Chain A
Amino acid sequence: MKLVIAVIKPFKLEEVREALIGLGVAGMTVSEVKGFGRQKGQTEIYRGAEYATNMVPKVKLEIVCDDDLADRVVEAIGHAANTGAIGDGKIFVLDVGHAVRIRTGETDTAAL
């Protein structure tokens, strides 16, 4: 099993979700996060008071899937979340040791 973590632009979430459903991904966890990479924050001006926001709002997805699905998940996210502009985000893939479905006690692939 693999854990795919993707940090993407918030407005791309729906496209990415549709692409992943199309692949047969059974579920995911989504968080609203802030951070920075090469893309820097914006300047906000309130009645002349300027604030540089260093952190940019992003959406973080966490998807656990079978090993053989992981490459296609990464490809689908990379395709759906791409705008070509700086700040499109990043994808990380990690190995997952164990998984349990709490309700039934099923484990590993059966729990996904």
Chain B
Amino acid sequence: MNRSTITRTAAALAVLLCAAPVLAQTGGPVRAPDAAAMATMSNKGDTAWMLVSSALVLMMSVPGLALFYGGLVRTKNMLSVLMQVFMIVSVASLVWVTYGYSLAFTSGNSFIGGLSKAFLSGVSGSTYAATFSNNVYIPEYAFICFQMTFACITPALIVGAFAERVKFTPLMLFVVAWLTLVYFPVAHMVWYWAGPDFLPDTPTDTGLLYGWGALDFAGGTVVHITAGIAGLVGCVIIGKRRGYKAEPMPPHSLTMTMIGASLLWVGWFGFNAGSNLEANGVTAVAFINTFVATAAAAVAWAVIEQMVHGKPSLLGAVSGAVAGLVAITPASGFGAPMTSILLGFAASALCFWFVTTVKNRLGYDDTLDVFGIHCVGGILGAIGTAIVADPALGGQGWFDYTKFPAVPGAYDMATQLVTQTKAVLVTLALSGGVSAVLFFLLNATLGLRPSADVEAEGLDLNEHGERAYNY
């Protein structure tokens, strides 16, 4: 028996073993299984993968995003950025398990869930969460942890827009309010649905945008567009850094930025491939798409810089990589490797133009280009998803989960483009509008901006009483 035959036999055996418990009990897929039945539909491979993915996504925030952002600010503000990201992750975790998970992922109306699982009430080691396959479940705690890491990183993305000039405590209050009024509703609208074994009986038990048929594999709208537009609104309301355009403000450590961006890339496999909620072929599709779209975007940005400035910069390469990661996020499980590469190229070209030309022309001071990379890249990815998901281009299409068992739906690119655009507009309006109100209120009451002296001396000493570096 040669090696490949052994592998194939082992694979066939694994399929049989996995399928065995379900088939033995029922002889076919079970509609609306109870928790005891779900226990037999949960698989160690999926569970292990989801727990690993959760840890990978946490690594994106701390230390990945913290270092990526931190390296880009001046030495005197390094520690403030690290602290903001670290605390946002910690606070968001607590908010998530207190009421965020319940608001996002329980049945309510089309806009927001209920409070039935507040304080994780009713959740235990023997409750389960649905995946994208009939009769496949993962432990609910694994799902809660995975989604928790998304709730942690999304508000942390925002701080880059007004880095170097924001007060710590009002920022933390903003984060709690923003999670409650923007993130949980948008996560519910895009990602909440009853699950493949329940939707056929309750076809309207979904979030608004899910019901419209919007495709967002891993959070182009929920994470990047919401955060990107909130960042833009925040930096406009808080105002430009003192000395912006008049004095040099170069990154204090591109070494840190490169480490951070690389950790983001690695962690993003958990973010995107983990978003399949199972460890199977589609997970591998999301994985490879995440790999190659990022590589393509990094190459594209470097080539563009070579042509425009005559030198390819490291900051450019890692900025391109992040733009590619953002753009492939909503499309990761829907596209194919070759179309993902094209999406990566397009993301770099568009984001490069945005952060080097459009930002300067409009004159706002988005310190770390949260809008120019996350929102613009996110919009490109969300709309591009409609193109790369088309089965005619090798995409995965979509599944009609109102049928039992689920069947592939008929794909129409034009219809999907309209749906994706509507989802983008709703997200922009909701996050932009609510963020504007929140920033305005906080600015008018507690004040968001430190005094001129504090800003000049740096946030590290004044807000946190320490320095990032003591040589």
Contacts and interface: CB of A to CB of B under 8 A. Distances in A.
Interface residues of A, number: 8
Interface string B436-463: 0000000000000000000000000000
B319 A45 contact: no
A47 B319 contact: yes
Contacts, number: 24
A48 B250 contact: no
A45 B360 contact: no
Contacts of A36: none
Contacts of A45: 309, 311, 313
B315 A47 contact: yes
A42 to B, nearest CB: 11
A53 B249 CA distance: 11
A44 interface: yes
Interface in A35-51: 44-49, 51
B309 A47 contact: no
B248 A53 contact: yes
A46 B360 contact: no
A78 B434 CA distance: 66
Nearest to A47: B355
Interface string A41-79: 000111111010100000000000000000000000000
Contacts of A44: 250
Contacts of B315: 46-47
Nearest to B251: A46
Contacts of A49: 249
B250 A46 contact: yes
Nearest to A44: B250
Contacts of B360: 48
A51 B250 contact: yes
Contacts of B356: 47-48
A24 to B, nearest CB: 34
A49 B369 CA distance: 12
Nearest to B313: A45
A47 B316 contact: yes
Interface string B347-364: 000000001110110000
Contact of A48 (B248, B249, B251, B357): B357
Nearest to B354: A48
Contacts of B313: 45-46
Contacts of B359: 48
Interface string B324-355: 00000000000000000000000000000001
A36 to B, nearest CB: 15
Contacts of B357: 48
A48 B359 CA distance: 10
A45 B356 CA distance: 10
A53 B248 CA distance: 8
Nearest to A48: B356
A47 B319 CA distance: 8
Nearest to B310: A45
Interface string B291-323: 000000000000000000101010110010000
Contacts of A51: 248-250
A11 B309 CA distance: 26
A53 B319 CA distance: 23
A65 B248 CA distance: 41
A90 to B, nearest CB: 26
Contacts of B249: 49, 51
Nearest to A49: B249
B369 A47 contact: yes
A93 to B, nearest CB: 33
A54 B93 CA distance: 46
B360 to A, nearest CB: 7
Interface of B: 248-251, 309, 311, 313, 315-316, 319, 355-357, 359-360, 369
Nearest 7 interchain pairs by C-beta: A48-B356, A51-B248, A47-B355, A45-B309, A51-B250, A46-B315, A46-B250
14 contacts: A45-B309, A45-B313, A46-B250, A46-B315, A47-B315, A47-B316, A47-B319, A47-B355, A47-B356, A48-B356, A48-B359, A49-B249, A51-B248, A53-B248
Interface of A: 44-49, 51, 53
Given A44-B250, A46-B251, A47-B316, 12 more contacts: A45-B311, A45-B313, A46-B250, A46-B313, A46-B315, A47-B355, A47-B356, A48-B356, A48-B357, A48-B359, A49-B249, A51-B248
